[in-house]
Structure 1
C-alpha cells in the first residue's frame, strides 16, 4: 500500500506561532521492522481521551485569512457522508501498523488493522472501542471524550467549537492544530490537508500526556458509496479494560 508523502512532516508544539512559514523537511528512511517482533499494539492515545490537555486560555486570535481556511476545513468534513481508504499509523518509537478504514458521519468509523495485528478501532456514534482480538480485551470510552467528536458531528464548525492552536498554509498544504472548547473533552489534534487539486485529508497527529506523537496517514480515499452499517457495531469481546 502506498504511503503518502507527508510521512515525516515535523509537528510543532500546540500554540506555535502561526506566522512562521511551514517547514516540512525531507523524508528520512524508516527503520524496517524486525520479523521476530510481535505486532505492535494500537496506541490508545491515538484514539482515546488519553492525550495531552491544552492549557486554559490558549489559542490563536484568527485573522480573516486564517478564519477562511478553518471554515474550509470545517466544510470539508461537513460534506463527508461516507469516506473509506487505507491508513498507516506510526507511533513515537517508529513502529508502523496499517490497514483499512471506514467512516460514516455522524459519529461512526472503523479502523481494521492488517495482520499480523488482530486489532480493531470502532465507533458506533456513541462509544469508541479499541479491541485486541489476540488478548481478548477492549478499552471503551465515550466518543464525546475524544477530540474526534469535533470532526464527526453532524454540523462541523471548528471556529465555533474548537480553540485553534495553529494555522499554517503553503503552496499545496494546510495545517490546522486544534483542541475542543469543551473542558470535558481533552485532547490535541493536528490536521494535515492537501490543497491540490482539491482540499483532502492526508493525516492527523495526536500528542499523548508524555508529549509523544502518534501519526495516522490516510490514502486512496473514496468519499462516496455505501458502507455496510454492521461495520460500525461494537461487538463485545472478553472483559472490557474500561467501560463508560
Structure 2
C-alpha cells in the first residue's frame, strides 16, 4: 500500500523537478520520482550563450566548468539510490545511466515502480497500479545534464554555485521565469569528482531528495535496459 500511495501522489510532478507537475499531453498526475520532469520545463534549449559568466566570479566559473566537464565525461554508471519525498517517505532502489540521455531507476520491493528513459522519452511504469505514463526527456531538468554536449553556462539559469568543504553545490532552473521548479546538485570533489545527491523542488516548494550510493562505472550496459518493450507491458496484466 505504501508503494501504491507513493505512485499515486502525482505525475503532477512528472518526474522530479517537482513532485507536482502536469504532463502536457493528458494532464495525468505522476508519482514523485528521482529525475524531475513535466510541463514546468520549457522544451527548447537556449542555444545562445545568454549567460557568459558576468554574474559569477572566477572561482564560481571554475566550479561550474568542473561540473559541466563531469557530465560531459560521464559514459556509463550504476549504483543504488535513496529517494526521500516531501512527506519524509523513503524509497530505495538501483539506478543505471548510459549517455546520452538514458537512465533507469528500479525501485526495491515492495514497490514495483520503474522509471526509465531511452534518450527521447521517459516512461514511468507502475506494475502495481498497471499504469504507464510517458513524457519527453526534454521536459525534465536532466535534459541539461545528460545531453551530448553539456554546457551549463549556456543552457541553464544558475541560481547558486558554491563550495562547502569538499562538496560543490550547484542549483539550476529553467530559463523560463514561468517555470519555477529547480534542481540542486551536490558533488563530492574527493577522491574524484562524483555526483552524490540532488534535490528537486516543485512550483509549490516541495522537495524530493535523491541520495546515490555505491556509484561505480558500468561496462557496456545493454541498450535494451533503457527501452520499455511489449514484454514489459504484458507483465502488467500477469
Which TM bucket (shorter chain)? 0.7 to 0.9
Residues 223 and 187 of structure 1: is their aligned pair in 2 closer, same or farther, counting only changes over 3 Å?
A: farther
Task: Summarize the Cα distance change of 1:131–1:184 in structure 2 as closer, same or farther, 3 Å threshold.
Answer: farther
Q: Is residue 38 from structure 1 mapped to residue 2 from structure 2 by the alignment? A: yes
- The equivalent position to 2:200 in structure 1, one of 180, 200, 206, is 206
Q: Report Cα offsets for 1:104-141 as digits up to 9, x if no partner.
A: 00010000000000000000100011111111112211
Counterpart Cα distance in 2 of 1:226 and 1:168: 34
Does 1:109 pair with 2:98?
A: no
**Which of residues 54, 73, 81 in structure 1 aligns to 2:75?**
81
The 3-state SS of whatever aligns with 1:211 is: coil
Tell me, yes or no, if the aligned pair for 1:74 and 1:157 is still in contact at 8 Å.
Answer: yes
Q: Which runs of 4+ in 1 moved over 4 A?
A: 50-53, 57-60, 182-186
2:141 counterpart SS class: coil
Distance in 2 between residues matched to 1:191 and 1:83, nearest whole Å = 17
Please say if residues 104 and 117 of structure 2, whose CA atoms lie closer than 8 Å, have aligned partners that are also in contact.
Answer: yes
5+ long unaligned stretches in structure 2? 17-35, 43-49
Q: 1-side partners of 2:163 and 2:41: how far apart?
A: 25
Deviation digits for residues 136-158 of structure 1 (CA, Å, limit 9, x no counterpart): 11221100011110000001111
Q: Secondary structure at the match of 1:152?
A: coil
Structure 1 partner of 2:184: 190
Report the structure, 1 or 2, having the larger helix content: 2
> Match for residue 166 of structure 1?
160
1:49·1:187 contact (CA, 8 Å) conserved in 2? no
- Unaligned segments of structure 1, at least 5 residues: 1-36, 239-244
CA distance in 2, matches of 1:60, 1:140: 38
TM-score (norm 2): 0.76
Shift of 1:221: 0.8
Alpha-carbon distance in structure 1 between the residues aligned to 2:38 and 2:60: 27
- Find 1:91's aligned residue among 82, 85, 90: 85
Greater length-normalized contact order (CA 8 Å, ≥ 6 residues apart)? 1
| Corresponding residue number in structure 2 for 1:124 | 118
In structure 2, relative to structure 1, the CA distance for the partners of 1:178 and 1:198 (3 Å cut) is same
Counterparts of 1:50 and 1:220 in 2: how far apart (Å)? 32
Which residue in the other structure is 2:148 paired with? 154
Match of 2:38 in 1: 49
Q: For 1:165 and 1:60, how far apart are their aligned partners in 2? A: 13
